[in-house]
Chain A
Amino acid sequence: MSPSVLSSRALVLCAIGIALNMALGQAVSFLNLPIFLDSLGTVVAAVLCGPVIGGLTGLLTNLIWGLIQGPTAAFFAPVALVVGVAAGLLARAGMFRSWWRAAVAGVVIAVALSVVAVPIRIFLFGGVTGSGADFAVAYLLKVGESLFGSVLVTVIGSNIIDKVATAVLAWAILRGLPARSLSDWPYLGHSRA
């Protein structure tokens, strides 16, 4: 990996992203919205620094959660990695240039993370999580959906609003950065009209 990808600046941003993910995930619950915002730091890091730093931010967020809370979060570290990598690649494709593009990017991220989350849920967790989402899985199984289909629908359904909100919020935050930020974060050029 070239030193410029893992510059001190990028590492500091990565640390900030992880801290944001962890702090926001707890802070927004009082709003009673189907939004966790626990990947806002990942998406922001990815749009500012690209897929490598974005992926690292997501991966480490879950691994550090694993060190604090227990191993469940660590199992889903690959999912968080995919969120960061996908956001970085979408940013390079110009998907954070306007709010509606960012919303589409949020949908793509939700679908991409499901590709990784569904196998983890099925093979490691037998398709359940011990949370309210299990009712949805049980219902879909009852009406004749396969286990894979049931979990897939549940994962996408519980993530899509959050990821769209996260992506649009990241767009709004980064759009308002002063012009000189572009020289600090050249990758941000992909997200400027």
Chain B
Amino acid sequence: MIFAFRDLAFAWPGGPEVFTGVDLTLGPGDRLAILGGNGSGKTTLGRCLGGRLEGRGTVTCDGRDWRTLGRAERVAAVQCVAQRPHLQLSGRAFTVREEIAFGPENLGLPPAAIADRVDEAMALLDLAALAHRDCRRLSGGETQRVVLAGALAMRPGLLILDEPMTDLDAETRDRLAGHLGALSARMAVVVLDIGCFDWMAGLIGRFRILDAGSLGAPLTGEELRTAPLPPAILLPDAGPAP
């Protein structure tokens, strides 16, 4: 799927614009990180990219206007993993397997197709051992993986991850980064974060900076290290590997 965002802008009712003039094209295999400091509006931008908030501008998915898509088509096209994973648990499931199946079940798919997607997502995120665990009694990292599996089971064309590694310990982070590296090449992935971190190395192809309401030009990892950056953006001491 090809997603095209043209001249996207958003303002809360009665407030100033959070961002303006965002142009972005995302296709299969794209791995983009949008970096912005706290309060830069990247979460809001993520919600707009995910079609969860409607701003100004045009959004098309494979040439079709986003607004003409039905709800089931939208959720099959874009999935997000938000910052606090436990808020993303459906409340409709009592086991990890059921939780991952929640989305595909909502699409009215036949049971065999649902099982196929659930098993694939669980295998990718190494969740088979947790399949029958109570999904409300998992650690933060496990919950994050279950939520990510729930999003992947929708087989979206675009996956948006909002600060996916916050609150995870180093080991869990490396493991999750490994899983992210194995994501399907048919999918575009956008990561929103407050800085460039080690785990992004080898994973992210392009970086763009969100600052003062506008999105900067695409940078490679190498360019990011030498480019002048707003102070709110964090860079690791070693810098990202190219």
Contact = CB atoms under 8 A, between A and B. Distances in A.
Contacts of A15: 91
Interface string A154-193: 0000000000000000000000000000010000000000
Chain B interface main SS type: loop
A102 to B, nearest CB: 29
Interface in A115-151: none
B13 interface: yes
A183 B12 CA distance: 10
A172 B12 CA distance: 28
Range for the number of chain A residues in contact with chain B: under 10
Nearest to B91: A15
| Chief secondary structure at chain A's binding surface | helix
Interface residues on B, range: under 10
A183 B91 contact: no
Interface string B77-96: 00000000000000100000
A15 B89 CA distance: 13
Nearest to A15: B91
A68 B126 CA distance: 35
A160 B13 CA distance: 42
A190 to B, nearest CB: 19
Contacts of B13: 183
A15 B91 CA distance: 9
A131 B12 CA distance: 54
A15 B13 CA distance: 28
Interface string B172-208: 0000000000000000000000000000000000000
Contacts of A183: 12-13
Interface in A8-24: 15
A183 B13 CA distance: 9
A17 to B, nearest CB: 13
Interface in B1-42: 12-13
Nearest to B12: A183
A141 to B, nearest CB: 46
A161 B91 CA distance: 33
A183 B91 CA distance: 25
A7 to B, nearest CB: 13
A183 B11 CA distance: 14
Contacts of B91: 15
A183 B15 CA distance: 13
Nearest to A12: B91
Contacts of B12: 183
3 contacts: A15-B91, A183-B12, A183-B13
Nearest first, the 3 closest Cβ-Cβ pairs linking A and B are A15-B91, A183-B13, A183-B12
Interface of A: 15, 183
